[in-house]
Amino acid sequence: MKTLSLELKGVSKYFPGVRALDKVSFDVAAGEIHGLVGENGAGKSTLMGVASGALIPTEGEVILAGTRLNGGTETARDLGLAIVRQEPSLMPDLTVAENMYVGLPPEQRPSPARASRVTDDIL
């Protein structure tokens, strides 16, 4: 029997006025590589957002390595699914140091007082 790394079951996602996903089911077995193809706005990023815990589906479920995910990118990462995004996700209202700070995993974040020094060192 195949070990399933990711199971999407009947996943729908509605945004105000937009049905981005309509009952999508998709299984990924360990070791498989998939390409997800669709026109602009087809829902690819939304589907990956749901799979990686960044978005909570309106209906349906996401199961990672046998565990049902109820949103949460850190939980998804702990279960083996992380995402490299198509678009950089910078927050324009934050400083460079603040953007770098929130981009670090919590256990690697410096104390707020040291954040700008750490940014200087990295840059």
Ligand X SMILES: Nc1ncnc2c1ncn2[C@@H]1O[C@H](COP(=O)(O)OP(=O)(O)OP(=O)(O)O)[C@@H](O)[C@H]1O
Q: For the purposes of burial, counting CB atoms within 10 Å of the CB of 62, is it exposed (0-12), middle (13-18) or buried (19 or more)?
A: buried
52 binds Mg ion per the rule CB under 5 A: no
- 29-46 as b/e, with b when 16 or more CB fall inside 10 Å? eeeeeeeeeeeeeebbbb
Q: Does 5 bind Mg ion (CB under 5 A)?
A: no
Residues contributing to the site for ligand X (CB under 6 A): 15, 18, 20, 38, 40-46, 86
Check residue 45 for interaction with Mg ion (CB under 5 A). yes
Contacts with 96 (C-beta within 8 Å, 6 or more apart), sequence order: 119, 123
Could you say which of Mg ion, ligand X, none residue 46 binds, taking C-beta under 5 to 8 angstroms by partner kind? ligand X
Nearest approach, Cβ of 61 to Mg ion (angstroms)? 22
Window of 19-27, 37-45, 62-70, 89-97 that interacts with Mg ion by CB under 5 A: 37-45
Q: Binding segment for Mg ion among 20-28, 41-49, 57-65, 98-106 (CB under 5 A)?
A: 41-49
Q: Which of 41, 3, 1 is nearest to 21 (CA)?
A: 41
Taking the least distance from each CB to Mg ion, the nearer of 9 and 44 is: 44
- For residue 1, what are its two tokens? 């029997």
Positions that interact with Mg ion (CB under 5 A): 44-45
